[in-house]
Homo-oligomer: A and B are copies of this chain.
Amino acid sequence: MRPVAVIGAGMTKFGRSEWPLLKLMNVASLAALNDANLGDVKVDGVVVANMGAARLNKQTAIASALVDRLNLFPAMAESVENGPASGASAFKVGYQAIASGMADVVLVTGVEMMRAVNNLEVTDFVASLSHPEAEYIYGVTLPGLAGMFARLYMERYGVTREHLAMVAIKNHANAMKNPYAHIHQTVTMEGILTAPEAVVNNPPIAEPLHMFDCCPVSDGAAAVVLATQEIAEKLGRQVVRVAGIGQATDTHAVHERPDPTELTAVRLAAQRAFSMASLTPQDIDVAELHDAFTILEIAESEEVGFFKKGEGHKALAEGVTSLGGKLPINPSGGLKAKGHPVGATGVAQLVELTWQLRGEAGERQVENAKNAFACNFGGFGNNVVATVLTREG
């Protein structure tokens, strides 16, 4: 396989977009292209990550539309959908286009405009990834699945609501240092858990998960430019190499898993990514995990191999995963506070890690980060993509 590098990264501020869908994509794409500073090197492929524009925004074939807006003719283009893991799936498809030799430079842009519809429809839309005959028709939603998962996890491993709140507090604090984050609001244990008014300010969504355990509904776009390592070096860029990509699937219905607290696809995807990169979890300096719900950051931090099963919440409580800790997790603010425009999320994780590896993450910079890891979690863990990026030199 030809080595592939990330040579450009950019994103819009996540939140509520005043722009139409195509402008969101355009702004993030131009930021990444400007960053890549291609000169006369041409983009020959475009991959868009998007989950629901056909339904939410009544637009299809938006990859072709993006080529048109950016005047990248006659670049190849298509969209990739893999639920909330669409972003990393599209990144993988862009990687393969280059690794296979069919393209030299590929733009990967993730986008979602979810606030175009109301919250009830958003919840129904996201639930459309659940099993149509075994989950969806019984009213199962993603918060519902996460609530049941959290309950079992807490009982088995001694995780408490305080631990869940620590994830929110940490990630909100990180997001304060990220100008692209959806939510800029410092939260405290008192404010969301122990004060009497926390009952009102942090209402239950799907017990034991409360509002501050759930990511917001966001609009946003994020983009990276991929190229052969040869082109990256020719352009004189700091090379951020795509060292490993791993993907794995699991049962569609969560209740069919022998042990629903085991996220097998997370474990396998991470193993595959580390194996391809010839690295171990202990080599990672910074990670973005898919904390659509606070419990998921804890569970994923164990399944990918950073901590032993049942130990993730202890590492969290000890500050290991905070900025300044041994392995900062979600320095961007994560889905929890940076936001979760589903198609954009997996790409945005890799935008943050590119910035971290290049030393461009400002106030939230993880010092001297060389190896970075992302986990993009599709379905309720039925399709997971893990990515390892490495700074060369």
Contact = CB atoms under 8 A, between A and B. Distances in A.
Interface stretch (A68-76, A181-189, A192-200, A308-316): A68-76
A99 interface: yes
A332 interface: no
Say what secondary structure dominates the interface of chain A. Answer: mixed
A245 interface: yes
Contact of A96 (B55, B102, B131, B382): B102
Contacts of A220: none
Contacts of A99: 96, 100-102
Interface string A82-108: 110010011011011101111000000
Interface in A254-295: 264-265, 268
Contacts of A252: 64-65, 68-69
B132 A22 contact: yes
A128 B59 contact: yes
Contact of A63 (B55, B101, B265, B383): B383
Interface size of A as a range: 35 or more
A58 interface: yes
A194 to B, nearest CB: 38
A54 interface: yes
Contact of A76 (B74, B128, B129, B248): B248
A330 interface: no
A78 B80 contact: yes
A59 B249 contact: no
A387 interface: no
A77 B129 contact: no
Contacts of A331: none
Contact of A82 (B78, B96, B128, B264): B78
A55 B81 CA distance: 13
A61 interface: yes
A247 interface: yes
Contact of A20 (B73, B101, B132): B132
A378 interface: yes
Contacts of A328: none
A123 interface: no
Interface in A19-75: 20, 22, 51-52, 54-55, 58-61, 63-65, 67-69, 72-75
Given A63-B82, A96-B97, 9 more contacts: A1-B101, A51-B61, A54-B55, A65-B132, A65-B252, A67-B249, A68-B249, A76-B249, A77-B247
7 contacts: A54-B54, A59-B132, A61-B378, A65-B252, A68-B131, A73-B248, A80-B93
